C-alpha cells in the first residue's frame, strides 16, 4: 500500500485539521501534492482530541437496528441515558431521525454492515502504511485488541447476532468467560457474564499525539497550516476559486472538506445540502486511575468504553443530540464515571477532567467520502460518527484515489454524497 508520488496533481486545500483531514492531507502529500490545511484550532485539538482512542476494526454494525423507533420516547425522557435527545432540539432533528429509522430495516442494516466492513476492517493496516516512516517505538498506536464486555446474561444474548455478523465479515473474535475476563482485568469488581475480544483491533495511547505526529510530518515535507475560521468561498464557473477566512482569502485549486461536524454549511454553500447532524460525545479523563486496564473495553449496554492512555484512563461514550451550539451537560461525563466505579471499585478519580465534542453523523451510519456532485474539484470527507479515528487513514486513501482518478482499491459507491 505504498503511495507513489504523482507530480501531475494540483495544490490541494484541506479544510479541517482533525484526524480525517490530517490523514487526507498526508496521503495526498505522499503522492506528490502540495497541501494546505485550514482549521480554526490547532491540529488535533477539535473532536479528534477527545475520542475514545480505539481503532474499531470490528465496528461493522450500524447504529440503527430494526425496531429502533420504539426507543425514541426513552431517549427524550432520560437526560443521562446512553443516548438522549434534548427535547428542544427534536424539531430540528426529526428529518434526520426519520432517515435514521428508515435505514434501520433488516435489508438496510445488511447493506450498511457490508459497506462499513469494507472500510473498518482494513482501517488499522492503512495507518501502518501511512506511518511506515515512523519507528515502532515512536508510534502512538498499539494493537492489543478491544474487549466487548457483557455484565449480565441478557447482554450476552443481545450481542449474539452482532457477533455472528462480525464473524461473517471476517472479524477475529475470541469469546471469553468470567474467569478469562478476570485474568485480563484483575481490577474488575463484579463478575461479568461474558465478553468478546476483537483481537485485531487497537488503540491510540494518545489521539492528540497521533494528530500532532501527522501534522509534524506534513509540515516537515512542506505542507502549510493556516489557523483561521472559514467563512465562505468565491465561486467561479468551474467551482470555488478562493476560500474566505477571518484572516483573509486564499486561492484554491482542489478542495477537500473534512471539517467534521462543521462541514454541513460549507458543503451547502458548495451545492450539497447533506443530512449531517452531530452526536455530542463526552469523556472523563482520569490521570491517576489506580487500576490497571490492559486493553480498551466497551460496554455497549451502558454506552461507554474505557481506554488506557499514556496520560491516564479515558472513559468515553454516550450520544446526545443537541446541536453544535448548546452548552455541554457535564453530568453525562459524571455518569460515565459512576458506571466505571461500579466496574472498578478501587478507581481513583482525583484530577478528573470532563470533555465534550461533536461527532459528525449521517442517518445511515456511513461517512461521505466523495467528489462533490456539483464541482469536479471539490471533495468531501466527513460524517464518520463514532469511527473518525478508526477510518482516518482509509479515508485518506479513498480520497487520494478519487482526487487522482485512480482505480479504487475500495469501492467508494456506498459513501457517495449523492446517495441521499
Domains and CATH numbers, the chain: 1-59+105-139+205-273+364-420 (3.50.50.60)
What is the CB-side half-sphere exposure of residue 77 using CA atoms within 13 A? 5
Sign of CA dihedral 269, 26, 420, 92: negative
Other C-beta atoms lying within 10 Å of the C-beta of residue 414:
18
Report the distance separating Cα 149 and Cα 60, nearest Å: 17
Question: What is the chain's pLDDT, residue by residue, as a tens digit (420 residues)?
Answer: 445 444 445 699 999 999 999 999 999 999 999 999 999 999 999 999 999 999 999 999 999 988 887 877 877 788 888 889 999 999 999 999 999 999 999 999 999 999 999 999 999 999 999 999 888 888 999 999 999 999 999 999 999 999 999 999 999 999 999 999 999 999 999 999 999 999 999 999 999 999 999 999 999 999 999 999 999 999 998 999 999 999 999 999 999 999 999 999 999 999 999 999 999 999 999 999 999 999 999 998 888 999 999 999 999 998 999 999 999 999 999 999 999 999 999 999 999 999 999 999 999 999 999 999 999 999 999 999 999 999 999 999 999 999 999 998 899 999 999 999
Helix H or strand E segment including 365? none
Q: Which residues pair with 12 in a beta bridge?
A: 35, 254
CB 319 within 8 A of CB 221: no
In 16-137 the beta strands, taken as DSSP E runs, fall at 35-39, 54-55, 83-85
Phi, psi of 246 (to 5 degrees): -75, 5
Residue 374, all three cell numbers: 456539483
Q: Where are the alpha helices (DSSP H) in 193-283?
A: 207-220, 264-269
Residue (of 298, 61, 63, 62) closest to 166 by Cα position: 61
CB 345 within 8 A of CB 356: no
Model pLDDT, residue 296: 96
Model pLDDT, residue 79: 80
CB 399 within 8 A of CB 29: no
Model pLDDT, residue 2: 44
Amino acid at each position: 500500500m505504498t503511495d507513489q508520488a504523482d507530480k501531475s496533481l494540483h495544490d490541494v486545500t484541506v479544510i479541517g485539521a482533525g484526524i480525517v483531514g490530517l490523514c487526507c492531507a498526508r496521503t495526498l502529500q505522499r503522492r506528490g501534492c502540495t497541501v494546505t490545511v485550514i482549521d480554526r484550532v490547532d491540529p488535533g485539538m477539535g473532536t479528534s482530541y477527545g475520542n475514545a482512542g480505539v481503532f474499531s476494526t470490528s465496528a461493522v454494525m450500524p447504529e440503527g437496528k430494526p425496531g429502533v423507533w420504539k426507543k425514541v420516547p426513552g431517549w427524550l425522557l432520560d437526560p443521562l441515558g446512553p443516548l438522549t435527545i434534548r427535547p428542544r432540539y427534536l424539531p430540528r432533528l426529526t428529518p434526520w431521525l426519520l432517515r435514521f429509522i428508515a435505514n434501520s430495516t433488516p435489508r438496510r442494516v445488511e447493506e450498511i454492515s457490508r459497506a462499513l466492513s469494507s472500510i473498518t476492517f482494513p482501517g488499522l493496516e492503512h495507518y501502518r502504511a501511512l506511518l511506515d516512516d515512523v519507528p515502532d517505538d515512536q508510534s502512538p498506536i498499539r494493537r492489543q485488541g478491544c474487549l466487548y464486555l457483557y455484565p449480565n446474561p441478557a447482554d450476552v444474548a443481545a450481542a449474539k447476532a452482532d457477533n455472528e455478523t462480525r464473524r461473517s465479515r471476517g472479524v477475529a473474535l475470541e469469546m471469553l468467560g468470567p474467569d478469562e475476563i478476570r485474568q485480563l482485568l484483575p481490577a474488575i469488581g463484579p463478575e461479568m457474564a461474558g465478553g468478546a475480544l476483537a483481537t485485531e483491533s487497537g488503540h491510540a495511547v494518545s489521539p492528540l499525539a497521533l494528530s500532532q505526529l501527522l501534522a509534524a510530518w506534513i509540515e516537515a515535507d512542506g505542507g502549510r497550516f493556516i489557523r483561521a475560521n472559514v467563512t465562505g468561498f468565491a465561486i467561479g464557473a468551474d467551482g470555488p476559486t478562493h476560500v474566505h477566512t477571518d484572516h483573509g482569502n486564499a486561492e484554491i485549486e482542489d478542495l477537500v472538506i473534512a471539517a467534521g461536524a462543521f462541514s454541513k454549511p460549507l458543503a451547502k454553500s458548495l451545492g450539497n445540502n447533506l443530512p449531517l447532524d452531530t452526536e455530542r460525545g463526552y469523556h472523563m479523563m482520569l490521570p491517576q486511575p489506580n487500576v490497571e486496564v490492559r486493553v480498551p473495553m466497551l460496554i455497549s449496554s451502558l454506552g461507554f468504553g474505557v481506554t488506557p492512555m499514556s496520560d491516564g484512563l479515558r472513559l468515553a461514550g454516550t450520544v446526545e443530540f443537541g446541536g453544535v451550539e448548546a452548552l455541554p451537560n457535564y453530568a453525562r461525563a459524571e455518569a460515565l464515571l459512576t458506571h466505571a466505579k461500579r466496574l472498578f471499585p478501587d478507581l481513583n478519580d482525583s484530577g478528573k477532567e470532563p470533555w465534550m465534542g461533536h461527532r459528525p453523523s449521517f442517518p445511515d451510519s456511513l461517512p461521505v467520502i466523495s467528489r462533490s456532485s456539483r464541482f469536479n474539484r471539490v471533495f468531501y470527507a466527513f460524517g464518520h460518527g463514532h469511527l473518525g479515528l478508526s477510518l482516518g487513514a482509509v479515508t485518506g486513501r479513498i480520497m487520494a484515489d478519487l482526487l487522482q482518478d485512480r482505480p479504487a482499491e475500495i469501492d467508494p459507491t456506498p459513501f457517495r454524497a449523492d446517495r441521499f
